[in-house]
Amino acid sequence: MAKDIAQFIAENEQNIKRDIKRLIDIKSVKSAPEPGAPYGAGVRAAQLEAMKFCEELGLETVDCEGRIAYAHYGRQDKFIGVIAHMDVVPEGNGWDTPPYDCTERDGYLVGRGTSDDKGPFVIAAYAVKYLIENKIDLNYGVRLIIGLDEETGMSDIEYYKAHYPQPNFTFTPDADFPVGHGEKGIYSADLVSGPVGEGAVLLLEGGVASNVVADHAQALVRSAALDTLKKAAQGRSDIRLTEQENGVLVEAFGRAAHAGTPATGINANHILMKFLCESGVLEPQEQAAASFIARLTESYDGRAFGIDAQDGLFAPNSIIGGVLKKEDGRFVLNVNSRYNTAIEPKEIEKRIENTANQAGFTVCNMENSGPFYMSPEHPAVQTMCEIYGEVTGADARPYVMSGGTYARHMDNAVSYGIECPQENVPEWVGTAHMKNEALGIEHAKQCCEIYIKTFLRLQQVDL
Ligand SMILES: [Zn+2]
């Protein structure tokens, strides 16, 4: 007779906290490759500690050449996969406690990776421990895949797929509850103008990242343009001019937003390019390139590229021009599109390329990963939603998103937790990638219950 789940979790609470701390205390930000450590020493150390911890729980581990690893329990011919990652994003500033010394505060574990994604990994491993301890008869084994390169390109899962068998069904605890059963396609590329010559613009830079709408952009313009610029900037609160020794600094101010939900953003790159075009200070080649960039960044719906479309499954397509620069005498705009199933991935590439080429721009550094969509009627999705609803009392409906998780890289995979709306969260608590990243201990216990029930009930589902 299987032990009561609540009792199991109560008995293991201290151990769960201890083992999360073991992993958090290792700074595993990707760094320069070393022999046997393709993602750097920190990531490698976290991988080895994660494997050691899984062995202690009774799983068998395999090191996949330092590129990824896994810990397995039960049948090898049919198994459920869970993929979480040991790499973390840099800590940034403003922490109240040391980011790599996991600390307990107000019922939360605080540290980089507590919620993204080391904490969820440990919770899933303890759910496997429940199966082991109770000698549950398994129709499907369980494989915990230990990702090492989630935050910077997911080369780890590509390596896994090339060398190891995929699970029959996989979930990644690296998003929100209940179940993410679809993700939009993600396209990004640099659009590079022809040579703009020794024009009026000496320097150009806008935005911070491909996937963020630029909240700030600036150009250094030749001093001779000062009076003209002053006239054009009159009454503008979104443009600021500063006279400098080497030219006039023109700054544009917008509002940041994520590429997946750009509608709330205001693109400073667009404001800057449009302002410079209208001011009349640009040379003809600059004017042509800048007006094209201004046109592309005028809206987020993709109409400038002919890729605006809806499919009824996902939100409409979007595209932003998040990063702008002048490099080797050319203007460069990085674009980032989140697209649904209405237009094929190859067709997205073609239309963006055609649009760019018509204006004398070329496409460089293109990356494209098509959308994935699993039916919300899939019995595994239904079962997981039911369990989440039972344990939390929440109305559990599967959802689709614009972000990208491991799920899009695998056959038959979804995201499943661990973030979900919480009540009475202290103000200092941060989420994934933020300062003071934290994981509620009661929430962690609830997640463990969800994952135990999931492993148990998926045994009865035809995966
Ligand atoms: Zn993550």
Say how many Å lie between the CA of residue 149 and the centre of ligand 1: 10
* 152: nearest Cα among 17, 29, 288: 29
What is the arithmetic mean of pLDDT over 363-386?
96
Say how many Å lie between the CA of residue 229 and the centre of ligand 1: 45
Instruction: Say how far apart CA 369 and CA 7 lie, in whole Å.
Output: 43
Instruction: Say how far apart CA 128 and CA 131 lie, in whole Å.
Output: 5
Instruction: Say how far apart CA 232 and CA 201 lie, in whole Å.
Output: 16
The answer to whether position 146 is within a domain reads: yes
One domain, residues 415 and 448: yes
Instruction: Say how far apart CA 316 and CA 302 lie, in whole Å.
Output: 9
One domain, residues 190 and 179: no
Say how many Å lie between the CA of residue 409 and the centre of ligand 1: 14
Say how many Å lie between the CA of residue 117 and the centre of ligand 1: 5
Whole-number average pLDDT of the chain: 96
Domain boundary among 324, 342, 369: 369
Q: Which amino acid is residue 105, in one-letter code?
A: R
Say how many Å lie between the CA of residue 408 and the centre of ligand 1: 13
Model pLDDT, residue 2: 59
106: which residues sit within 8 A by CB, 6+ positions away? 426, 428, 429
Say how many Å lie between the CA of residue 145 and the centre of ligand 1: 13
One domain, residues 439 and 400: yes
Residue 311 near residue 360 (C-beta atoms within 8 A): no
One domain, residues 170 and 192: no
pLDDT bin (cut points 50, 70, 90) of residue 1 is very low
Model pLDDT, residue 121: 98
The SS3 assignment for 445 reads helix
What is the arithmetic mean of pLDDT over 428-433?
93
The answer to whether position 283 is within a domain reads: yes
Residue 340 near residue 177 (C-beta atoms within 8 A): no
What is the arithmetic mean of pLDDT over 386-411?
94
Question: Where residue 382 sits, what CATH number does that domain have?
Answer: 3.40.630.10
Instruction: Say how far apart CA 117 and CA 102 lie, in whole Å.
Output: 14
135: which residues sit within 8 A by CB, 6+ positions away? none
Domain boundary among 369, 397, 416: 369
Say how many Å lie between the CA of residue 36 and the centre of ligand 1: 23
The answer to whether position 191 is within a domain reads: yes
The answer to whether position 357 is within a domain reads: yes
Say how many Å lie between the CA of residue 156 and the centre of ligand 1: 13
Say how many Å lie between the CA of residue 150 and the centre of ligand 1: 7
Say how many Å lie between the CA of residue 108 and the centre of ligand 1: 19
Q: What is the pLDDT of residues 202-236, one digit of tens each?
A: 999 999 889 999 999 999 999 999 999 999 999 99
Whether the pLDDT of residue 113 is over 70: the answer is: yes
One domain, residues 450 and 364: no
What is the arithmetic mean of pLDDT over 42-58?
98
Question: Where residue 305 sits, what CATH number does that domain have?
Answer: 3.30.70.360
Which is more confident, 82 or 3? 82
The answer to whether position 48 is within a domain reads: yes
One domain, residues 128 and 167: yes
Model pLDDT, residue 37: 97
The SS3 assignment for 59 reads coil
Instruction: Say how far apart CA 215 and CA 323 lie, in whole Å.
Output: 10
One domain, residues 118 and 259: no
Say how many Å lie between the CA of residue 373 and the centre of ligand 1: 20
Tokens 């589902």, located at residue: 461
One domain, residues 212 and 172: no
Domain boundary among 343, 369, 395: 369
Q: What is the pLDDT of residues 51-66, one digit of tens each?
A: 999 999 999 999 999 9
- The 10 Å CB-count burial string (b at 16+, else e) for 387-417 is bbeebbeeebebebbbbbbbbbbbebbbbbb
Say how many Å lie between the CA of residue 380 and the centre of ligand 1: 22
Tokens 């023109």, located at residue: 250
One domain, residues 316 and 395: no
Phi, psi of 72 (to 5 degrees): -125, 145
Say how many Å lie between the CA of residue 84 and the centre of ligand 1: 7
Say how many Å lie between the CA of residue 151 and the centre of ligand 1: 7
The answer to whether position 62 is within a domain reads: yes
Domain count, the chain: 2
This prediction has a pTM of 0.86
The answer to whether position 277 is within a domain reads: yes
Supply the range of the domain harboring residue 338: 186-369
Q: What is the pLDDT of residues 128-168, one digit of tens each?
A: 999 999 999 999 999 999 999 999 889 999 999 999 999 99
One domain, residues 350 and 399: no
* 144: nearest Cα among 174, 177, 99: 174
One domain, residues 132 and 197: no
Instruction: Say how far apart CA 31 and CA 404 lie, in whole Å.
Output: 22
Q: What is the pLDDT of residues 174-206, one digit of tens each?
A: 999 999 999 999 999 999 999 998 899 999 999
Say how many Å lie between the CA of residue 396 and the centre of ligand 1: 22
Instruction: Say how far apart CA 360 and CA 351 lie, in whole Å.
Output: 14
Instruction: Say how far apart CA 432 and CA 308 lie, in whole Å.
Output: 31
Say how many Å lie between the CA of residue 237 and the centre of ligand 1: 38
213: which residues sit within 8 A by CB, 6+ positions away? 207, 254, 255, 256, 257, 258, 259, 262, 265, 266, 267, 320, 322
The answer to whether position 463 is within a domain reads: no
Model pLDDT, residue 153: 86
One domain, residues 407 and 318: no
Q: Which amino acid is residue 12, in one-letter code?
A: N
By residue count, the chain amounts to 463
Model pLDDT, residue 404: 87
DSSP tag of 413: E
Provide, rounded to the nearest whole percent, the portion of the chain with pLDDT above 90.
Answer: 94
DSSP secondary structure, 113-163, as one string: TTTTTHHHHHHHHHHHHHHHHTT---SSEEEEEEES-TTTT-HHHHHHHHH
Say how many Å lie between the CA of residue 404 and the centre of ligand 1: 10
Q: What is the pLDDT of residues 314-355, one digit of tens each?
A: 999 999 999 999 999 999 999 999 999 999 999 999 999 999
Whether the pLDDT of residue 419 is over 50: the answer is: yes
Please report which residue ranges of 341-378 form alpha helices under DSSP H: 345-358
DSSP secondary structure, 171-237, as one string: EESSEESSEEEEE-EEEEEEEE-S---S-SEEEEEE-S-TTB--SEEEEEE-GGGHHHHHHHHTT-S
What is the arithmetic mean of pLDDT over 394-404?
91
What is the arithmetic mean of pLDDT over 372-376?
94
Name residues with Cβ closer than 5 Å to ligand 1, which is an ion. 116-117, 174
Structure tokens at 204: 């150009």
